[in-house]
A = this chain, B = another copy of it.
């Protein structure tokens, strides 16, 4: 299947590029690319995805004018790995954004992590430079905070934002002191120069991030060279915030206020593109890094609609994402695509838009979605759901097989940490790590999107789905060369006070270990 996808990709790309007129000599400038990546926003948070308060008129209109993907996935149920996957087009298990020292352990890049995006990975902005793009990241980086991981060392020309989450304020214990950067320079810190009022939820950050986007677009427009804007804003990540004009305006509380401000900002960005007359030459894609953080619901967590559980889990609520493609004049308005899409496809699709080919010296998991978006072409492909280096589940077509089930530990659950509040599917939302590799739990996501009714093991439907899924997993594992794990929790004994973007925060050396056999599924 993957072979099929690869085989047809070349021809499709030719057709698409030809359709866009990019193959002719003196080809027109490749389109600008705007990737809008939300933080912990859930599939069910947009009106167009059924949020009952329907407070996202701009995003809903974006969908009406573009293509909506109801079956679009993150590459991981957590922030850092998901973002690393987007920018590399590769699963975290390949690009190193995983742990090897804890079975099924999710991990990201807080201050105690020494790891980050390896130099050996080719990031999208660096590749886009070959086609003359000017690249800016606005918002959260999350691919490592030591100097060698700085976004401007990986292809971005500009940065306004932070290397990490806006947890805080700094308390010299568990809350780090999070810097905000403009390009190479640290221009302040969250809660200090960039205040966030935890009581009222007021912060001006989305407005700052919006302004950065608008200014960048205006500036680049005058330069007549293509641009790539990676707009990775974070108002929907706890602590959730909004600026004063939006506070108290949502039917959904503070979380809804943040969504409304984001929606308004998206509207302003799309309007600017239209007003500048460059909407037909700017590809825009909106999605989120992982499912809504139900641990923070309802005040600071969003909605995963009808799906099971949320962030941190490999149920649909953890990894199915809102996704809208918008490119007036190219992507026909009002379409819905059932293509299984992945955040990693944004890497390959962006390269395709730029007339570039993805690196050929490594496995790229992202597919070029242009044939889907422009010609309605459907590609058969699997979706892999990992926690750490553990392949928890796979979706193929309408069928999803769980090899492992786990929400969180009984210990955490006992402390009130609940990844699936109000949801309890017997034998599925387990609080111990349950292995099903010999007899996976399989769900039909069409008739049972909420993963509530496992297929009967004895049914021919189960057997047929399983045999096809096994082939895909075997093929996947056969070719899998795990990257160096970057996110292992540091060994306190080897902590050093290293030079870092945190400027003085104590860091530790990553413990590099090999992928244990437990990460592979034996059939």
**Chain B CB within 8 A of A446 CB:** yes
Is the pair B421, A452 in contact by a Cβ cutoff of 8 Å?
yes
Instruction: Contact check, B308 vs A306: say whether CB atoms are below 8 A apart.
Output: no
Kindly state whether residue A169 has any CB partner on chain B within 8 Å: no
A444 sits at the interface (CB 8 A):
yes
Minimum Cβ distance to chain B for residue A197 (Å): 19
Judged by a CB distance under 8 angstroms, whether A299 is at the interface is: yes
Q: Are B422 and A298 in contact (CB under 8 A)?
A: no
Q: List 15 A-B contacts (CB under 8 A).
A: A52-B305, A52-B449, A53-B70, A64-B64, A252-B447, A256-B446, A297-B453, A298-B444, A298-B447, A298-B453, A305-B306, A421-B452, A422-B451, A422-B452, A423-B423
Residues of chain A from 434 to 464 with CB closer than 8 A to chain B in the complex = 444-453
**11 additional contacts, CB 8 Å, given A251-B398, A253-B446?**
A48-B50, A49-B50, A54-B336, A64-B64, A256-B446, A297-B452, A298-B444, A303-B306, A305-B306, A306-B306, A422-B423
A44 touches B50 (CB 8 A): yes
Check B251–A50 contact: CB distance below 8 A: no
Chain A interface helix/strand/loop/mixed: loop
5 shortest interchain CB distances as A-B pairs: A50-B50, A422-B452, A251-B446, A253-B447, A424-B424
Residue of B nearest to A304 (CB): B306
Determine the chain B residues whose CB is within 8 A of the CB of A253 once the complex forms.
444, 446-447
> In the complex, A68→B298 CA distance in Å?
25
Per-position contact with B for A403-425: 1 when CB-CB < 8 Å, else 0? 00000000000000000011111
The CA of A496 and the CA of B256, in the complex, are separated in Å by 59
Closest Cβ of chain B to A347, distance in Å, is: 25
Closest chain B residue, CB of each to CB of A418 = B452
